[in-house]
Amino acid sequence: MFLKIETFAGRSNLPAKVIKLMHRFIHIIPFFFVGLLGMPGRVSAQLIIQKSVIKHEMAPGSGIVDSLEVTNSTNKPLAVKLYWQDFIYRQPFDKGNKEFMPSGTSDYSCADKITFSPNTITLPPFGKQEVKYSVKVPESFKTGCDGVLFFEMSPDVAKSRIGMSFVTRIGTLFFLESTDANKSAKVEDLALNGGVLQGNFHNQGDVVLFPKGVFFFLSEDGLVEDRGEVNKLYVPPQAKADFQFVIPETLPPGKHTVVLTFDLERGDSVVIEVDFNKNPEGDINLVATRD
Amino acid sequence: MRKLTFLTVLMVGALLCFVSGASAQTSSATFPITVDIDNASTATFVVYQVDGGVFTDWPSTTLQFEPILTNVADPGDPPQYAYLGDVYYAVDVWPYGAGALNVTLTYTDDDNPNGSPNDGSGLGVHAIGTPVANDNNGTPDVYTDDTETQIGTRAILANIAQTVYAADILANGQYLRFYVGLSTGNPLESEPAGAIPFNPGDTPGNYTGTLTMTVAAPGP
């Protein structure tokens, strides 16, 4: 902003007094914006967390020390409380729906493997602070674990006779995965219902999986006819997640194969092939499936 | 001889210029551009107190009600009283992140003179929450004249626990608005099951609770 004004002043034929006066007002503008931001109630909480998800792949017995930054984007001090909670994914597994639980209560809790500091922060206006965390996993760590570090904006202390405190919190999700973890899954219960192919993604391993499926349709002579993606899934260990996708109406009658691949990361994947037949009336019948 | 040498150098130079010029015209360079976006998350919460349809910025994080004892009986019927809320609240939520964030709503009673917290007789059954998607389509910079569509479940706060998927809302340029108010008992309001207005049968005292909005990413 100041650079533009200097350029303008340099080219201008305005008297020096006028330009000097403009400069004086220009310096007031930032304060005007700050004043606008400070209007009561307009923004009641503005905390920016540098990382919404942190994922570490760790060898048994190893450790990591790292940090993340939190920023107060308002012109007022912001008191923030930090604490850990567990969570588990709940149905539907295609949207990341979670149930948050007290620390150390889920089957795959990371609570005893992660420490962080500090526990409370008072961020100055437009201030930043680093939150340090350290992870240490035991030699016996052969699975995965998760949890969430919450940043909670402290509510007002005052309470009315009838009323409620309004608490807001933003979470950073943590996922730890052992290099020795068992990542295995299977596609089950495939069925054709009208023009829709349905199935279950069964996580048979001991880490939460985030498979994103891609598929393509092959004609009888091996040419790719169409392709698409299955919505990302969030599947806890041993759980099954439903998926489905539509078979395009544009496919001509005849034999077709759909090849469906779920990427499990780290080079692991689940692939299944489904042969189906489309008759001239447009009816589709499942012929065979192959892993 | 000197002249010949000069001419040779001149020709070689001209040739080099020609080659390099031709080369400049026909070759191309590739400059990869990488944008690394942090998977940061943030959410903006704006609270309004709504009184008689007028939205006023509410700077506090305590949503307070001053219910008024009101005769709610039909004219001609014996008087029947309830404590009706004088105001209600609208909380606008803009969750932002690399990838859409989910907003989870939960509520717990704190003080309940009728019994113990969360036993089905506290503020949780006297107050109602309604999540709506606001289309942000009205007058620019005016957040009160937009079209709203109910999303999720309208419920008494005791049953409000649910997650609203920002991906479904923000993809359409909408944002989440959450209304909170006291039950009126008015059948025309189509209040959710279990909603009970404060009435003279309630034990006098402080009825308080905590409404929590949690913003988190769906996953990696």
Rounded CA gap, A98 and B115, in Å? 30
Supply the pLDDT for residue B157.
96
Residue among B190, B62, B42 nearest A162 (CA): B62
Per-domain residue ranges of chain A: 2-37, 47-155+164-178, 185-290
Q: Is the pLDDT of residue A43 over 50?
A: no
Q: Using the beta-carbon criterion (under 8 Å), do B97 and A98 form an inter-chain contact?
A: no
Q: In sequence order, what are the beta bridge partners of A88? A: A99
Q: How confident is the model at residue A35 (pLDDT cuts 50, 70, 90)?
A: very low
Rounded CA gap, A227 and A249, in Å? 13
Summarize the confidence of residues B28-55 as an average pLDDT. 78
Q: By percentage, how much of chain A surpasses pLDDT 90?
A: 68
Supply the pLDDT for residue B84.
87
What tokens appear for B113 in the block?
């003179």
At residue B9, the 3 state secondary structure works out as: helix
Neighboring chain B residues of A210 at a CB cutoff of 8 Å: 219-220
Q: Using the beta-carbon criterion (under 8 Å), do A46 and B220 form an inter-chain contact?
A: no
Cross-chain CB nearest to B219 (options A49, A96, A100) = A96
Q: Using the beta-carbon criterion (under 8 Å), do B63 and A169 form an inter-chain contact?
A: no
- pLDDT, one tens digit per residue, over A7-25 is 233 333 444 554 454 444 4
Supply the pLDDT for residue B135.
81
> Which parts of chain B are beta strand (E)?
41-51, 54-57, 62-65, 68-71, 81-84, 88-97, 102-111, 127-134, 148-150, 155-156, 162-165, 175-182, 207-216
Q: Residue A54's closest chain B neighbor by CA?
A: B220
Neighboring chain B residues of A164 at a CB cutoff of 8 Å: 62-63, 107, 110, 123, 127, 157, 180, 208-211
Q: Is the pLDDT of residue B141 over 60?
A: yes
Distance from CA of A42 to the nearest CA of B (A): 6
Supply the pLDDT for residue A234.
96
CATH class of A185-290: mainly beta
Is there a common fold for A47-155+164-178 and A185-290? yes
- pLDDT, one tens digit per residue, over B168-218 is 676 667 788 999 999 998 888 889 999 999 999 999 999 999 999 999 999
Rounded CA gap, B208 and B65, in Å? 10
Summarize the confidence of residues B83-112 as an average pLDDT. 86
> Which residue ranges form the domains of chain B, and what is each CATH number?
41-216 (2.60.120)
Supply the pLDDT for residue A27.
43
Summarize the confidence of residues B51-70 as an average pLDDT. 88
Distance from CA of B59 to the nearest CA of A (A): 4
The reply to whether B47 touches chain A by the CB within 8 Å rule is yes
Q: What CA dihedral angle connects B56, B60, B62 and B67, to 10 degrees?
A: -40
Q: Using the beta-carbon criterion (under 8 Å), do A153 and B62 form an inter-chain contact?
A: no
Distance from CA of B135 to the nearest CA of A (A): 19
Q: Is the pLDDT of residue A26 over 60?
A: no
pTM beyond 0.90: no
Distance of CA B214 to the CA centre of its chain: 10
Summarize the confidence of residues A167-177 as an average pLDDT. 94
Q: Using the beta-carbon criterion (under 8 Å), do A43 and B44 form an inter-chain contact?
A: yes
What DSSP state is assigned to residue B101? P
Q: Residue B92's closest chain A neighbor by CA?
A: A43
Q: Assign a CATH topology to domain A47-155+164-178.
A: Immunoglobulin-like (2.60.40)
Please list the helix, strand and coil fractions of chain B in percent, rounded to the nearest 5, in that order: 20, 40, 45
Supply the pLDDT for residue A39.
38
Query: What ipTM was predicted for this assembly?
Result: 0.79
The reply to whether B8 touches chain A by the CB within 8 Å rule is no
The reply to whether A39 touches chain B by the CB within 8 Å rule is yes
- Window A:86-115, CB contacts with B under 8 Å: 89, 95-98, 100
Residue among A173, A152, A157, A170 nearest A80 (CA): A152
What DSSP state is assigned to residue A253? S
Q: Using the beta-carbon criterion (under 8 Å), do B218 and A51 form an inter-chain contact?
A: no
Neighboring chain B residues of A165 at a CB cutoff of 8 Å: 61-63, 110, 208-211
Residue among B40, B170, B150, B178 nearest A166 (CA): B178
Handedness of CA A136, A138, A142, A146 (dihedral sign): negative
* CA–CA distances in Å: residue B127 to residues A97, A162, A163, A277, B185: 25, 10, 9, 56, 11
Q: Residue A170's closest chain B neighbor by CA?
A: B215
Q: Using the beta-carbon criterion (under 8 Å), do A170 and B63 form an inter-chain contact?
A: no
